[in-house]
Amino acid sequence: MPGADRIDADVIVVGAGPAGSSVAYWLAGAGLDVVMLEKSTFPREKVCGDGLTPRGTRALVDMGIDVSQDAGWLHNKGLRVIGGGMRLHLDWPDLTTFPSYGLVRPRADLDALLATQAVKAGALLHEQTTVTEPIFDKAGRVIGVAAKAGPEKREVFYRAPVVVSCEGVSGRIAQQLGLHRNDKRPMGVAVRRYYTSPRTHDNYLESWLELHDSVDDNGGPINAMDGAEKLLPGYGWIFGMGDGTVNVGLGVLNSGAGAQKTDYRSMLTRWLDGTPEEWGLRETNATGPTRGAGLPMGFNRTPHYTRGLLLVGDSGGAVNPFNGEGIPYAMESGKFAADAVVQALARPFGPQRERALQAYPARMAEEWGSYYRLGALFVKLIGQPAVMRACTRHGLPHPALMRFVLKLLANLHDPRDGDASDRIITVLRRITPAVR
């Protein structure tokens, strides 16, 4: 440490994505001295579908973000589901706990907006700062992090009573504390690419439950007019961006032993080559490369708090296993973490503070533990092609059933004073043991 810079704060937040910006915003708003450490510089690109359900809309509104169309947001009315030869439009439900519209915004813009909002609340943002390792006291408690800052990679030590890991799927600090991913819990993979397309102003998010391959087992083209059919694993999406482009991607909800060898980029191209030519989803219209990322789901890294370190968002595997959505859960878990830290730092160091910090993992389990256990079962079921096909063929013809499924998969329901479908979801969650 001699010769190195040292910066002290109340809380160090590692990572300035939606999770980090959320926790920093709520902490700074409570009057705490917060430093966010971001290895990149804004704006920066992240692999994402760029589409937000009403749950994501609510999280943004809670942070004071202007989500109007005049502010550059593309609003959507619901989800268009395609599969089993059917096309079904499902509007977002009319609820008291969530708005009735979703949003689309490129992640490069979204993350910069959220980081700016945290800074406006009083947080300090240090960009181009790569955290290398945690700093421990003699009892093995995390009391800060070491980092390389700026282009010259100057050594800096950040010290604080509490450190929050919002590093995403890598969970680098967590791993250095021995907190590794639980391979028995879901881990998804997603790839996406942008194309110029006339479908750019679509006011529905589009989800494909069946991905038709355009290449047969011998590498030849499949002619859909001949009735030939070969399905690829996973689900797909096409989200209009409103700027002349669309975000197109696919996700495989449960990556098994063969996932490491799967060429997901090729899989995406093979699906898109079978879509109508006029949509423009071809190589010549691509605006950039295909990018991929992992989706850490269902609390696949726990505990969410230990020895002065909290795991928030993707670091703690907070992605919804039902639909692969991560942004609202990153932002909400940031709020939960901030609530616990604010209470903890108002108490003396020792058992009282620890009890307050333990409220965070308890809150995570209470909010999503049962729901994520149901989601893990769902992932196992739809990972079987026969089950997925049966659900698609027999479920889509029943709009009332699909409206219930939409609420369940998107985690959108009124826990009190809701309709019959809301009450069913509430009961399901109540009787299901929480995953922790």
pLDDT per position as a tens digit, 225-235: 344 466 777 88
334 vs 16, 194, 377, CA distance in Å? 11, 29, 26
| Tally of CA atoms within 13 A in the half-sphere of 14 that contains its CB | 33
pLDDT beyond 60 at 1: no
**Residue 165 pairs with which residues in a beta bridge?**
14, 311
Per-residue pLDDT of 324-340, as tens digits, reads 999 999 999 999 999 99
**Overall average pLDDT of the 365-392 stretch:** 85
d(Cα 174, Cα 158) in Å, to the nearest integer? 17
- 252: confidence class by pLDDT, cuts 50, 70, 90: confident
d(Cα 40, Cα 74) in Å, to the nearest integer? 26
Is the distance from CB of 296 to CB of 181 less than 8 angstroms? yes
Task: State the first-to-last Cα distance of the chain, in angstroms, to the nearest integer.
Answer: 37
**Overall average pLDDT of the 201-214 stretch:** 90
The per-residue pLDDT for 226 is 43
The per-residue pLDDT for 2 is 52
Extended strands (E) in 78-153: 78-83, 86-91, 102-104, 124-126, 129-136, 142-149
The per-residue pLDDT for 225 is 37
- 260: confidence class by pLDDT, cuts 50, 70, 90: low
Cα 103 to its chain centre, rounded Å, is 14
pLDDT beyond 90 at 22: yes
The per-residue pLDDT for 170 is 87
**How does the average pLDDT of the chain come out, rounded?**
91
pLDDT beyond 80 at 240: yes
Per-residue pLDDT of 106-127, as tens digits, reads 998 999 999 999 999 999 999 9
The per-residue pLDDT for 269 is 93
159 vs 39, 145, 172, 194, CA distance in Å? 18, 7, 18, 41
Out of 1-10, 170-179, 361-370, least confident range: 1-10
Is the distance from CB of 23 to CB of 13 less than 8 angstroms? yes
pLDDT beyond 60 at 285: yes
**Residue 195 pairs with which residues in a beta bridge?**
246, 286
Amino acid making up residue 290: T
pLDDT beyond 80 at 314: yes
pLDDT beyond 60 at 258: no
